[in-house]
Structure 1
């Protein structure tokens, strides 16, 4: 990856298709609900991009990207897209892609073994967690064996925070519980694993100030600005991005739910200082990923 030639690095993209072959029962309904929430017609038509198609899209735009699946098999019943598959496709597109993986913390020491293998044998650089989809509090000590493996391998963690479009508008919210994704629970994780980089994904509605507090207090905590159009960012997030946390804010889109085309266009319309824009779009990620 020639970072100097890139205009940005997208820290938050999803591997959605294919999902281990034919879609599982209920997966179409789930994706249709997501498409309604994000106003994404491609998802509603069942036309989500493959990882290879994602690579081509980002290459055309000269945007690097981190890509990952989400292991939520235990809660949703949907088979995960295998971490090895994502890593191998990313390796074949290493001019534009960096692989992260996802492991449900409930897999305990088996998950820890998988994490070590993925870093050592497949070049995985980090791990995505979705507390609401995986139904766990991030500071639950049962997750610590997995964190220990990630930290010891020098990898990065990325946690969904705040409200989610997953299950939004569906009966019972698809049994998703928002409480798990309050970023304050990651304060414990940041204290207990001070050398492990932690990214809080998304504007953390309705807990934005908790996220800003944790990121301000803990040196190893960062915030990615994915999942929302920038025109909806709360003023306090923009204020901190311009000042106290300007070196800890990261561009992320939430592809394919939100495209970088849409995010970057809306980012131009908000009051971010000229000297801060390149930090958010690329330089902070370059430093965090040691590119």
Structure 2
């Protein structure tokens, strides 16, 4: 089906130690066994084949004061299977100059195709001044900025995930910046849809939600005036690729809409 998963991570086996905030989310999703399980590139590809996923957009992770999964660790996967994995860089937001330099290195030396920063990790919304040099660099490198919207499944404050006013202001300041807002935006789904309609440069990915739980208004958007604006995502390893893909079939999308949702829109946004 040529599916491209717009939001995924490496199963490092260290998540329960380095990111304890997400343990509860994994438990609620029935994937707690993957918190401490390391999957190498070949094992990850086997799960992709089982689920029918062609490519994973694999992101690095950094939180204040330490890295959880480096850009170089992601590059191990992309180099092992360049047709199956696409690197998504991250940076240490607290060090502006070093962050810009690391983003440049991740794209030009490691081949990453996007930048992702998760605001709740930093307790800083995306309109904070520390993000702005990175937005300029993303435009220069012609890569999208990926971020999380909506409430936080992890036990952290959700305010940074509000689409309005935070992401709205970013899109107004940087109309040249392609922005992919992951995790749908619930409970502010209508705000997120409104922003995707308002701004040509804003897109939504469906990660962290099984397709059977997509909000009705998002499904309407996908099938009508927003069919070019929504990308499939899983948040692997939190959600099973096989389960996500099986439930996508149950949505009964038209062939044209399904192709855009599963891979066409991602190819355009990430320039794959």
* TM norm structure 1: 0.85
Q: Report the alpha carbon displacement of residue 270 of structure 1 after superposing the two structures with TM.
A: 2.6
Change (3 A) 1:29 1:109: closer
Residue in structure 2 matched with residue 169 of structure 1 by the alignment:
none
**What is the number of residues matched between the two proteins?**
270
Q: Give the C-alpha shift of residue 211 in structure 1.
A: 0.6
CA shift at 1:200, angstroms?
Answer: 0.6
SS of 1:9's partner is strand
CA gap 1:151/1:236 in 2 versus in 1, 3 angstroms:
same
CA distance change for structure 1 residues 28 and 162 in 2, over 3 Å: closer, same or farther?
closer
Instruction: Give how far 1:48 is off.
Output: 4.7
**Residue correspondence of structure 1 range 168-207 to structure 2 within 5 A:** 173=155, 176-184=156-164, 185-207=166-188
Once the two structures are superposed, the pairs formed by residues 25-174 of structure 1 within 5 Å of their partners are: 26-27=17-18, 30=21, 32-43=23-34, 46-59=36-49, 61-74=52-65, 79-166=67-154, 173=155
1:8 aligns with 2:9: no
Deviates more, 1:254-263 or 1:264-273: 264-273
Question: RMSD of aligned C-alpha atoms?
Answer: 2.1
CA separation of 1:234 and 1:28: change in aligned 2, threshold 3 A: closer
Deviations 1:105-151 (A, max 9, x none): 22212101111111111111101111112211101122111221122
- Seen in structure 2, the aligned counterparts of structure 1 residues 283 and 163 have a Cα distance that, compared at 3 Å, is same
Q: Which runs of 5+ in 2 are unaligned?
A: none
Distance 2:211 2:82 in 1: 28
Distance 1:215 1:280 in 2: 15
Shift of the 81–186 alpha-carbon distance from structure 1 to 2, 3 Å rule, reads same
Aligned CA distance change for structure 1 residues 80 and 27 (closer, same or farther; 3 Å) = closer
SS in 1 for 2:86: strand
State how far apart, in whole Å, the 2-side matches of 1:104 and 1:110 are: 8
Aligned residue in 2 for 1:170: none
Helix, strand or coil for the counterpart of 1:263? helix
Where 1:122 maps in the other structure, the secondary structure is coil
Write the distance in 2 (CA, Å) between the matches of 1:37 and 1:255.
14
Matched, 1:285 2:272: no
> More relative contact order in 1 or in 2 (CA 8 Å, sep 6+)?
2
Name 1:209's counterpart in structure 2. Answer: 190
Matched, 1:219 2:200: yes
SS at match of 2:95: helix
2:89/2:107 contact within 8 Å kept: no
